[in-house]
C-alpha cells in the first residue's frame, strides 16, 4: 500500500465468485459441484460450491493510488439476506487489516439457509485511530447474489434407532453387514442418478472411506418421491465407538447436488 493513499468515501463491494444470469439480470452461486474440477478454475467454476463454504475477498486497492482501506483499519464484514427481513440468517466477522487482499468465507450452513433467495455481503471500515481520534465508519457497496440449489433432506438408515447403529442387531452380527438407506426429496425425476456416500470416523477420529453406491430413480421411486436402497454388504465393525456419516448426491443438468448429512453413532 502507498504511504499516503487516497481513500474512497464509498469502498467498493467484496469480490465474490458468481455467475451472471443475463436473462434475470442477477448474479448467482450454485450449491452443487460441476465435475471434474478444473485444474485452473475460472470465476464461474468457483461459483459452484456444493456444500462448502463460499470464499470471497476484500481488496484494499481500487486502482493505482486509490484505496478502500489501509493497513491497520478495522473491518466488520456481514452476510445476510438481501432484503434484511430474516434476522435469523446472519453472519459477521471482524478483523484488523494486515494484507492487501483479505480472504474470507461464508459458512456453508448460512448459505443453505438462503437457498432460493438473494443474499448480500458488505463491510464497514473504521480507520485506525490517529491522535486518539476515531474516524467515521464507511460502508462499502454490497455484493448481491442469488443462492441456487436443491432442497435435499438428510437420508435415514432403517436399521438405525435414534441415530444409533447397533451392529449386533444387524445380520451377521459385527461382521460384514448391509444397511438400508431411505431418502426423499421433491422433484424426483425418472432415471435420475442418486449417489449415496458413506464416510466413517473411528473412535480415534481416523477417517474410513467406503465405496459410493449409485442408483437410478425408477417409476415407483418417482411416484413415491422416495428411494429405498440396500447398500453393498460392508464391515462396519472398525467404526464401533465412532460414527457413520451418510448423505447423497443428485445428478441433474450436468451438476451434482449434495444433500444434508446424517450422522449415526456406531455401537
What CATH number does the domain containing 244 carry?
2.60.40.10
Which domain does 197 fall in, by range? 156-266
Q: What is the pLDDT of residue 64?
A: 72
184 shares its domain with 261: yes
CB 143 within 8 A of CB 57: no
161 shares its domain with 126: no
Q: What is the pLDDT of residue 134?
A: 64
Residue 10 belongs to a domain = yes
Residue 23 belongs to a domain = yes
Residue 1 belongs to a domain = no
Reference 237, options 169, 170, 168, 175; nearest CA is 175
| Structural domains of the chain, count | 2
33 shares its domain with 122: yes
19 shares its domain with 132: yes
33 shares its domain with 137: yes
Residue 18 belongs to a domain = yes
127 shares its domain with 222: no
Residue 34 belongs to a domain = yes
| pLDDT tens for the chain, residues 1 to 267 | 445 566 777 899 999 999 999 999 999 999 999 988 788 888 899 999 999 999 999 999 877 778 888 888 999 999 999 987 777 889 999 999 988 889 999 999 999 999 999 999 999 999 877 655 567 789 999 999 999 999 999 999 998 888 998 888 776 554 456 788 999 998 999 999 999 999 999 999 999 988 898 999 999 999 999 999 888 778 888 999 999 999 999 999 999 999 999 999 998
What is the pTM for the complete model shown?
Answer: 0.87
138 shares its domain with 30: yes
Q: What is the pLDDT of residue 207?
A: 94
85 Cβ contact partners less than 8 Å away, ≥ 6 residues apart: none
134 shares its domain with 238: no
Last residue of a domain, one of 90, 113, 148: 148
Q: Which residues of 95-129 are buried (b: 16+ CB within 10 A; e: fewer)?
A: eebeeeebebebebebbbbbeeeebbbbbbbbbee
Q: What is the pLDDT of residue 1?
A: 45
Residue 238 belongs to a domain = yes
Q: What is the pLDDT of residue 172?
A: 54
Q: What is the pLDDT of residue 156?
A: 94
16 shares its domain with 144: yes
Q: What is the pLDDT of residue 140?
A: 94
Residue 20 belongs to a domain = yes
| Radius of gyration from C-alpha coordinates of the chain | 23
Q: What is the pLDDT of residue 133?
A: 59
124 shares its domain with 160: no
117 Cβ contact partners less than 8 Å away, ≥ 6 residues apart: 81, 82, 146, 147
226 shares its domain with 179: yes
Last residue of a domain, one of 95, 120, 148: 148
Amino acid at each position: 500500500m502507498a504511504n499516503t493513499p487516497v481513500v474512497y468515501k464509498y469502498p467498493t463491494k467484496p469480490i465474490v465468485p458468481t455467475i451472471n444470469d443475463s436473462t434475470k439480470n442477477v448474479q448467482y452461486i450454485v450449491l452443487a459441484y460441476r465435475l471434474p474440477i478444473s485444474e485452473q478454475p475460472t470465476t464461474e467454476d468457483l461459483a459452484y460450491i456444493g456444500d462448502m463454504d463460499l470464499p470471497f475477498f476484500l481488496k484494499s486497492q481500487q486502482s493505482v493510488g486509490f484505496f478502500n482501506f489501509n493497513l491497520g483499519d478495522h473491518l466488520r464484514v456481514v452476510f445476510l439476506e438481501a432484503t434484511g427481513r430474516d434476522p435469523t440468517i446472519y453472519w459477521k466477522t471482524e478483523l484488523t487489516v494486515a494484507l492487501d487482499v483479505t480472504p474470507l468465507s461464508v459458512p456453508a450452513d448460512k448459505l443453505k439457509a438462503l437457498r432460493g433467495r438473494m443474499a448480500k455481503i458488505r463491510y464497514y471500515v473504521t480507520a485506525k485511530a490517529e491522535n486518539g481520534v476515531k474516524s467515521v465508519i464507511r460502508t462499502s457497496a454490497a455484493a448481491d447474489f442469488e443462492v441456487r440449489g436443491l432442497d435435499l433432506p438428510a437420508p435415514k438408515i432403517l436399521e438405525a434407532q435414534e441415530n444409533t447403529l447397533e451392529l449386533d442387531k444387524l445380520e451377521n452380527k459385527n461382521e460384514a453387514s448391509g444397511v438400508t438407506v431411505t431418502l426423499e426429496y421433491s422433484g424426483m425425476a425418472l432415471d435420475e442418478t442418486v449417489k449415496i456416500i458413506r464416510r466413517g470416523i473411528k473412535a480415534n477420529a481416523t477417517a474410513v472411506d467406503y465405496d459410493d453406491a449409485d442408483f437410478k430413480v425408477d417409476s415407483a421411486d418417482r411416484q413415491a418421491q422416495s428411494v429405498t436402497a440396500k447398500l453393498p454388504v460392508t464391515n462396519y465393525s472398525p467404526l464401533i465407538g465412532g460414527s457413520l456419516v451418510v448423505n447423497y448426491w443428485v445428478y441433474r443438468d450436468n451438476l451434482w447436488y449434495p444433500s444434508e448429512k446424517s450422522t449415526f453413532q456406531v455401537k
